[in-house]
Amino acid sequence: MGPGGLMAPGGPMGPGGPMGPGGPMGPFPLTFMSTARVITCDSLDNVQRLSCDNGVIIVQAATYGRTDAEICSDGIPADQLANTQCFHIDTLKDVKSRCDGKKVCEISTNSFRTSDPCSGIYKYLDTTYTCFPAIHSVTCDDSLANLQCGEGQVLLIHGADYGRRDSTTCSLNLPASQLQNVQCSKPISNLADSCNGKSNCTVKVSSSVFGDPCFGTYKYLEMAYSCHCKRKCNYSTITITM
């Protein structure tokens, strides 16, 4: 395998765009999930991209280091492949905090080099993730996000991020200077504590609430959530992994 990334066989993946707010799952929910594995060799400026056409990203496993002598080995000296017990202990936590709940997520391998788990060994980022069916919601700054579920159902937050990842979302009538920073991202973990288990939840979107990850940039809150039965339902949910 060359220095770029590799996607192992899984469900259909692509650069799907934002999905508007959808309704809660109906009484006969048939849930389709697809799983993919992406391996990105740790060369200069290599970026790993995770994406879901349908649903949102939920990271299942992630490792930065080397646990296999063959992966990302083309043209690499044998002494840089010898240690296959090398891994960064916090990789899964870091990738989940950046990517869970998003439709598209890009991670540079540079971000893991600050703490080298095995000096002199050529490493790679190996991520397995599922595209989980969920409602994807975007709320512009200085607005209220209203999350609602149907009768007898409660919220489950899968991920939330405050910042700006593109120049077009929440951009109407704004100067270019407030849209140019598209590398602004702050995972918001406390929304789950505030909203999970409720039938509806209102969230004020503001830097005064979440803190300001990029001063001078107009931001928005991106969330992924689903609605689940408060008690055991009369119907079954069938989950098919492809």
Q: Is 7 helix (H, G, I), strand (E, B) or coil?
A: strand
**pLDDT at 238 (0 to 100):** 40
The predicted-structure confidence for 168-193, as pLDDT tens digits, reads as follows 999 999 999 999 999 898 999 889 99
**pLDDT score recorded for residue 231:** 65
Distance of CA 13 to the CA centre of its chain: 14
pTM for this predicted structure? 0.66
Per-residue pLDDT of the chain (242 residues; tens, 9 = 90+): 444 444 333 333 332 333 333 333 333 233 457 899 999 999 878 999 999 988 889 999 999 999 999 999 999 999 999 999 999 889 999 999 889 888 899 998 888 887 888 999 999 999 999 998 888 899 999 999 999 998 899 999 988 999 998 999 999 999 999 999 998 989 998 899 999 999 999 999 999 999 999 999 999 999 999 998 876 555 444 444 44
**What pLDDT score does 239 carry?**
42
How far is the C-alpha of 224 from the C-alpha of 241, rounded, in Å?
20
- Can you say whether the dihedral through the CA atoms of 211, 215, 216, 222 is positive or negative? negative
The mean predicted confidence, pLDDT, of the chain is: 83
Q: Given this model, what pLDDT does residue 44 score?
A: 77
Q: Tokens 């909203």 identify what position?
A: 195
* H-helix or E-strand spanning residue 126: strand 124-132
Residue with tokens 């949910």: 237
The pLDDT, as a whole number, for residue 232 is 55
Question: What domains sit in the chain, N to C, each tagged with a CATH number?
Answer: 5-132 (2.60.120.740), 135-233 (2.60.120.740)
**What is the DSSP track for 141-171?**
TTEEEEEE--TTEEEEEEEEEEEESSSSTT-
Task: Tell me the two tokens of residue 67.
Answer: 């646990």
pLDDT tens figures, 128-155: 999 988 888 999 999 999 999 988 999 9
* Sequence-ordered alpha helix ranges (H) in the chain: 91-99, 190-195, 207-210
3 state SS of 12: coil
